[in-house]
Amino acid sequence: MMYDDNPTLKKIDESKQGDVFFKEQLAGQHSELLKKFYIESYGCQMNFSDSEIVASILSDNGYAPIRDMEQADLILINTCSIREKAEDTVRKRLRVFDQLKKTKPALLVGVLGCMAERLKKKLLDEEKLVDMVVGPDAYRDLPNLIATAEEGDKGINVFLSREETYANINPVRLGSNGVTAFVTIMRGCDNMCSFCVVPFTRGRERSRDPFSILAECNDLFARGYREVTLLGQNVDSYKWSNPDNGQPVDFADLLEMTAQIDPDLRVRFSTSHPKDITDKVLHNMAKYENICKYIHLPVQSGNSNILKKMNRTYDRPWYIDKVKRIYEIMPDCAISSDMISGFCGETDEEHEDTLSIMKIANYSMSYMFYYSERPNTLAHKKFEDDIPLSVKKKRLSEIIQLQSTISAAHNKNCEGTIYKVLIEKESKKSKDDLAGRTTQNKMVVFPREDAQIGSYAYTKIIDSTSATLKGVLVSEADFLNQQKR
């Protein structure tokens, strides 16, 4: 379905345009009149996106964001429960906030997100480190919970909704570079991967209506942003039906409609479950130059037996065929992945299957972890966490070393090629250099010359590491001549 063919989807609620800009200006120019809030985010990009929704809600209720927690009236920490290490990090930060609270008795501290839902009673009653716990579907209730906490009671709402998508809230872009932004298109997850807590902490899948998604993307483009990442736990399972005529919109449709906003608006998405990414999605990616040729396609393990234990709903041959199909439709596409070492019962031979599938898929990069058992997950209930930590770490080290080698070769192959780069920022090492990403999500650093952040540039790659490409500016004509060859 084409965006241009559906007048209903072309309607933008113009009353919402500029709301976020107004809030940012209000916070900047009149912050002395407002209460101050400080927020930290951990974990996946969904958490960072949620923090921007929280900032919008607070901005509507008399709060302004600040960067110095010691000046805050309200401190919030948006949490992740995917691994034990993430929860340990949050607890350490809460102890820091607790020390600050002793010098500022009126200071309120709240925990948001997945850890709030999972450990609500422990955080409030046993450890007594917070005044509020707010689940990922309860952010609209924050003003009431703050009022409750100010009166000396504990504020708690961890209700998981089957409808909440925050569709009518324009996020305040915290720490934004003004070039790239995340746009949440759905919430929750219906996949019951045995190692994962997300279905229990974020609830069931529900998709945001495309009207509000396109409105947000249009607004971002009008304000100078040049890239949006459509975000969800599993974006490929996005589905929505028009209540007026029953016309369905799937992820491939939404991807195409977003790309049609303007050719200068790049579109990315994350994350994909291998079982749900369709040829329709792949063909739409190939059709539009501004849909980035990059797919994050977590494999988790390269062994069919382990995948079955993980309840990933595919096996090794099926995943390999999916990777081959991506490269068949888009030879220039980059694929990244997630890998877990040392899952329950994993043998040395099964670990070797993970190493071999990494070579077959030729991942441009990966997020790599050893297995961390999470309470109340299916794996916790069904399987013994029987791989020694030393073995988990050894296998993880082998995975990391192999990915570094593959990434270095991947980037080495880019040398001599010209790429269109969206410039995002100054280089961390030198203000004389700028940095931006290719359509394949590879970071390129190059001399600034007369290039501007937020614009597109053409760079020829002259050197590389496993993490970064180094380039020099060339002309668009050079790029177009390369395309003809």
CA–CA gap between residue 14 and residue 392 (Å, rounded): 53
Domain check: are 243 and 331 in the same one? yes
Q: Count the domains in the chain.
A: 3
Average pLDDT for the chain: 90
Residue with tokens 């593959």: 406
Please check whether residue 117 lies inside any domain of the structure.
Answer: yes
Bridge pairing between strands 365-370 and 334-341: parallel
CA–CA gap between residue 326 and residue 216 (Å, rounded): 29
Please check whether residue 3 lies inside any domain of the structure.
Answer: no
Domain check: are 116 and 261 in the same one? no
Quick: pLDDT tens for 353-362.
999 999 999 9
Could you tell me which residue, 27 or 468, shows the higher pLDDT? 468
Confidence check: pLDDT of 91 > 60: yes
Please check whether residue 442 lies inside any domain of the structure.
Answer: yes
Q: What are phi and psi of 260, to 5 degrees?
A: -80, -5
User: What predicted TM-score, i.e. pTM, was given to this entire model?
Assistant: 0.88
Quick: pLDDT tens for 4-63.
333 333 332 333 333 333 344 444 444 556 899 999 998 888 888 999 999 999 999 999
Confidence check: pLDDT of 83 > 90: no
The pLDDT assigned to 125 comes to 67
Rounded mean pLDDT, 310-334: 98
The pLDDT assigned to 6 comes to 37
Rounded mean pLDDT, 454-470: 96
Please state whether 212 falls in left (phi above 0), alpha (psi between -120 and 50) or beta.
alpha
pLDDT band at 126 (very low <50, low <70, confident <90, very high): low
Please check whether residue 164 lies inside any domain of the structure.
Answer: no
CA distances from 367 to 4, 76, 265 (A): 38, 27, 27
Q: What is the CATH number of the domain that holds 467?
A: 2.40.50.140
The pLDDT assigned to 27 comes to 43
Please check whether residue 136 lies inside any domain of the structure.
Answer: yes
Domain check: are 216 and 307 in the same one? yes
**Domain encompassing residue 378:** 180-412
Quick: pLDDT tens for 185-223.
999 999 999 999 888 888 899 999 999 999 999 999 999
Please check whether residue 336 lies inside any domain of the structure.
Answer: yes
Of 123, 157, 191, the one marking the end of a domain is 157
CA–CA gap between residue 473 and residue 434 (Å, rounded): 11
Q: Within the chain, how many helices (H) and strands (E) appear?
A: 17, 21
- 51: tokens are 């923090």
Q: Give the three-state DSSP class for 98.
A: helix
Domain check: are 207 and 330 in the same one? yes
Please check whether residue 169 lies inside any domain of the structure.
Answer: no
Count how many residues are written for the chain: 485
Alpha helices in 11-119, H assignment, sequence order: 19-29, 45-59, 84-103, 114-118
Quick: pLDDT tens for 145-194.
999 999 988 889 988 898 999 999 999 998 889 999 999 999 999 999 99
> CB of 470 within 8 A of CB of 464?
yes
The pLDDT assigned to 122 comes to 73
Domain check: are 149 and 185 in the same one? no
- 69: tokens are 């927690």
CA–CA gap between residue 227 and residue 264 (Å, rounded): 8
Domain check: are 190 and 148 in the same one? no
Q: What is the CATH number of the domain that holds 112?
A: 3.40.50.2300
Quick: pLDDT tens for 437-452.
999 999 999 999 999 9
The alpha carbon dihedral of 445, 227, 207, 38 has a sign of positive
Confidence check: pLDDT of 123 > 80: no
Q: What is the CATH number of the domain that holds 259?
A: 3.80.30.20
Confidence check: pLDDT of 89 > 90: no
CA–CA gap between residue 133 and residue 90 (Å, rounded): 13
Provide the Cα torsion 448, 458, 476, 407; round to 10°.
160
Quick: pLDDT tens for 368-395.
999 999 888 999 999 999 999 999 999 9
Domain check: are 80 and 129 in the same one? yes
- 87: tokens are 């929860």
Please check whether residue 124 lies inside any domain of the structure.
Answer: yes
Rounded mean pLDDT, 232-242: 94
Domain check: are 424 and 375 in the same one? no
Domain check: are 122 and 199 in the same one? no
Domain check: are 353 and 208 in the same one? yes
The pLDDT assigned to 88 comes to 82
- 407: tokens are 């990434």
Rounded mean pLDDT, 241-268: 96
Expressed in percent and rounded to 5, the helix, strand and coil fractions of the chain are 40, 20, 35
Q: Which residues pair with 473 in a beta bridge?
A: 459
Of 391, 412, 433, the one marking the end of a domain is 412
Q: What are phi and psi of 242, to 5 degrees?
A: -65, 120
What share of the chain in percent tops pLDDT 90?
76
Bridge pairing between strands 456-464 and 418-426: antiparallel
Domain check: are 439 and 333 in the same one? no
Domain check: are 245 and 351 in the same one? yes
Of 142, 157, 172, the one marking the end of a domain is 157
Q: Is 319 exposed, middle or buried (0-12, 13-18, 19+ CB in 10 A)?
A: buried
